[in-house]
Structure 1
């Protein structure tokens, strides 16, 4: 095992904790946006719309869709990490828990605060689990695989996928609104702000030196 791999293994417990906390927080902040009723990101518009058409909860739909998207990795020859598998399971569970405990506010101002808190918290949570470097989520891995296999740009594939799920989700009854626009405009900069603060560096650490006998 080389130095970098050994150092990465030494930090594995810390990485797992950050991954699990980040994924749980991600799901909970999605629930905040759902309960604001002011609009969701494209994938969650799709999840919400689908949940209105099938006898499954929002979180259960998130899990099922994540698992189906993961199957699309096979022809793309993408390899999941432990973070990928936990992403499929934990975000949906946390979202259902959040929806169960968060009451939908009557006031538009409180709903607005819930939305903003959800978007900012979602960006922090995303940076936290990305920074653990234990594998991308199934949806991100899909466009990463398509970029690698086709040579088309990240922007092209993300746009194609997210516009598709947004339109289908809207047609199924998912909520598109101010929150959809706010998320699209701000989530990238929010993640970019938080990622350097929470990313675990796996290249600069030094292994402890053995004390001579």
Structure 2
């Protein structure tokens, strides 16, 4: 049970680190990330909020993940809930100042991408399930012979283009994140000698069985 507790600590630490990286990118003040460009575009076309658009996209991506054979675990569900919550907390505390100068904003953005990569490594390596968007990256990496960098960059550019044509806002930072997110994540994975193809994620059913087994042992 101790190992399971440590796994979940690592999972939530990964979520927090991801959130920190995302907030750094936001506070660099250079433009929306590709996924948020898509969310904004859908919100305009569908006359819904960006948050509602994000949930809708998350559901669609999870469906695609399942069709590609990727396991959906507790980490997938917690990802949707806690990354946004941690982002709100960091933004509320205002611990990261808003950049007013591109000379500060660009380094902030690249630092945010590096930190985001570390967060992805931390929570994906637990095997408790990727977030919907990261699960798509993992599934496509497993299904093809392409690198994490190529797959992630392709996904980011694709959603960016779709979001742009739907009316989402694009800035120089949007282009930077679309091109370099995959590069930074792959670089971090190499630093930690982490092969994303080797991870077998535990699904929700496995989690329930494990919990029942633990409760049964405690009862006896």
Alignment TM-score > 0.5, same fold: yes
Q: Higher mean Cα deviation, 18-27 or 66-75?
A: 66-75
SS in structure 1 opposite 2:129? coil
Matched, 1:130 2:124: yes
Alignment partner of 1:173 out of 169, 173, 197: 169
Larger Rg: 1
Distance 1:97 1:10, change over 3 A: closer
Q: 1: CA distance between counterparts of 2:139 and 2:176?
A: 31
Matches within 5 A, 1:97-116: 97-100=89-92, 101=94, 102-116=96-110
RMSD of the TM alignment (CA)?
A: 3.4
Q: TM-score, normalised by structure 1?
A: 0.68
Q: Gapped runs of 5+ residues in structure 1? A: 1-8, 202-213
* Distance change (3 Å), C-alpha of 1:109 and 1:145: closer
Residues 30, 102 of structure 2: 8 Å contact kept: no
Q: 1:186 to 1:96 in 2, by over 3 A?
A: same
Instruction: Return the offset for 1:49.
Output: 4.7
Matches of 1:72 and 1:177, distance apart in 2: 25
Cα deviation, 1:156-181, whole Å, max 9, x if unaligned, reads 86565443212112332244233443
TM-score (norm 2): 0.66
Question: How many residue pairs end up in the alignment?
Answer: 187
2:188 corresponds to which residue? 190
The residue that corresponds to 1:56 in the other structure is: 49
Residue deviations 1:27-53 (CA, integer Å, cap 9, x gap): 231121022133565434434554666
- Show the counterpart of 1:32: 24
